[in-house]
Chain A
Amino acid sequence: MAVATTSSNAAVRGGSTLTKRQARLAMIMLAPTFFVLILVAFYPLVRTFLSSFTNEPFANPTAEVANVGLENYQKLLGIQIAPFPEGASLRDTMITGYRRVNTFELFGERYLFAAGDPMWIQAIVNTILFTIISVALEFSIGLLVALVVNTRFRGRGIMRAVMLIPWAIPTAISTVLWRYMLNDNTTGAMNALLSAFGLIEPSASIAWRSQYPLLSVILVDVWKTVPFVALLLLAGLQTIPTDLYEAGAVDGATVPQRFFRITLPLLFPTVLIALVFRTLDALRVFDVFAILLPNTTRSMATHNYEMMVTSYQYGYASATGVLIFIIIFAFTILYMSLFRVEVD
């Protein structure tokens, strides 16, 4: 009896029942994903945000936690640039609680640059420099590699497989490898190679990591990422129809003209999207900085980590995390609206 009623109801409602059933099934099938994402992303995000307004210590559940308002953010964002003539007192010039980043000359005047957290400011500068230089290098070298590998030659298949290796090796492990290669002792292949090619004196022992810290991380990241970028660009190159080049050749276009008028414009969408992905990746760099340059030169991510784990300042680290999140999320939104990402 009950069954009959239900089915006749269904028959009356017809198509809308099917739609409703689909919607309900969709919700059930999406539920596990929602649950996981709320648990491992949304909840930690809220927790981080809330504790960024406190002085909560790390790994000390019994400690008293006080609300400190915007204090953490004031310290992180506080910078001061003030005229600092020769002989002036640092104590009188600098805001209390700040520390000196450096002093610089501009138009013959001496200035003081101080900040609430100089290491954080330095970390932002390092991360941005790292991002700009390494992404620029990765795309220029990557494009060259992609163009070379896109031509026909023997062993092209092997070449493509080899190119996946740096990408597949865990960053932590390739960084350990490079840590030795950049040493100034017998493990330092870099010096050995350069002197084998006569580029440096055999006696020169360059301690790359301490003498050129930023260059060292860029070197490692570029090595790891160039083949990856090249493979993405290669995929883009292969979507360009060859008859375009033939038509160009018939019309008398030279090789550089064909490159700038055909290849680059058609490759542009691929380049743009890969560029954004790489930039977002580079902005959150952790492994290379943490392993290659322990504690000397920091990125935003390693500063966050050190503040929490080494300095035991959970609340302060949370504020750092929120700032990193805002920087990267703003970039993500910008990218999604800029390229009008179509999801359906």
Chain B
Amino acid sequence: MNKFSKSASKIDWLLVLLYLLIMGLGFMNLYSSDFKPETANIGFFEHTYGKQLIWLAICLLIAFFIMQIDAVAFSMFSYILYIVVIGLLFLVLIIGAATHGAKSWFLIGSYKFQPVEFAKFATSLALAKFVSVNGFKFVFRNFVNIIVTFAIVFIPVILILLQPDVGSALVYFAFIFVLYREGFPGIFLFLILVLAIVFVSALLINQVLLLLIIIGLSSIFLYFALDQKNRIFTIIISFVSFFSVLYFLNVLFKLEYTLLKMLFVSSVVWTVFLFIYFIRKKNAQILIVTSFMLVSIIMQSVTDLAFNKILKPHQRNRIDVLFDNSIDPKGIGYNITQSKIAIGSGGFWGKGYLNGTQTKLNFVPEHNTDFIFCTIAEEWGFIGGFVLFLLFALLIIRIVMRAERQISVFSRIYGYSVASIFFIHFFVNVGMTLGLLPVIGIPLPFFSYGGSSMLGFTILLFIFIKLDTEKDLKL
């Protein structure tokens, strides 16, 4: 066997196939999304799909080029790449071009270049390098290493937030999965998840209900965390007594506290009491749970207060619009309504290729970038949408499985990063389009229009495919 066929036999052709399939479908879909019969006779390359086709060719070239690089090089140059990208992120804040109020582009000739898309694989490489060398033991004496690890992730996040590009910054949440895999305690993963849920619920659910849910869930956690005999008494009776005292005070002195206020005050007192009570017992788990309880109770009231009381309605709307990169011609909620209409009109089989009306006629804003999923769902119906879900799930799971098989820690961490980044993109983008998540501008890999994004994802994936061909890589 010659060298090429030897390495070719090691390539995970399933991943490459998935990549080509997703990319091909992405192009077809973009073509449909922007195709209009009356402008068809204008030069092909004047259209978004024409430009995207050029990018597609460039991506394939780059992918082929990556496969020719020695895998060791990625490890060797990871820090340098990272520093270069950080530099670019700095530079874009100074000389970048602004669209929708965010300075995120370098304008080179008529081409736009978005450094954010390249920061993802650079960060992944640097993180993989650092963690593979230093390990990620979540213990006190490893303090400096932990700090550095977080710094590697947060420096680009801060720079991206300065643009500001909330969506792209959000992608870095992906690294939590990576760190979790490498030893970051699960409780933090859980904590972050719960806080996010509390934050979103505070905007959606009745506050009294939410507070009761928090108190109830906390009690259940406490119940399982404690092992003393009278734990039910300690947990429930203490809360009930605090609440009743407050209730009687309220009635007696006619304080006219609302139920919400009373619940809030008594639960804060309750958690503080539990915290002090268990600090003597030196039960670390309980301390974590109680402090977390306190945080979420305060968080829910603050979220609501901040959102509804301090901010005036128009400011609230502005925040909504800020989070949303698209123009908003018919008021808040227009995008998401139009997106749902487009998706809903697809039905089971869809309207057929090139037959979508909602996306083509610009009812869905950003229909070829952030809301590209609408075109798929409108033209290919439920079947098309479901197949797309499966393709992405397959891609991500395949990467995770291949990553697990790596002997090299560097390759494994990098693989995990790739899978997590794809997942966050898929999760946020489709979730937003379906109206399950707030509107946050973030592309759907290989589907959304944009050269930088496509190129970034190609590099991200192919570095892993390359690393995967040399499983016994010693780094």
Bind each other? no
What is the interface of chain A, defined by CB distance below 8 A to chain B? none
Interface residues of B (CB under 8 A from A): none
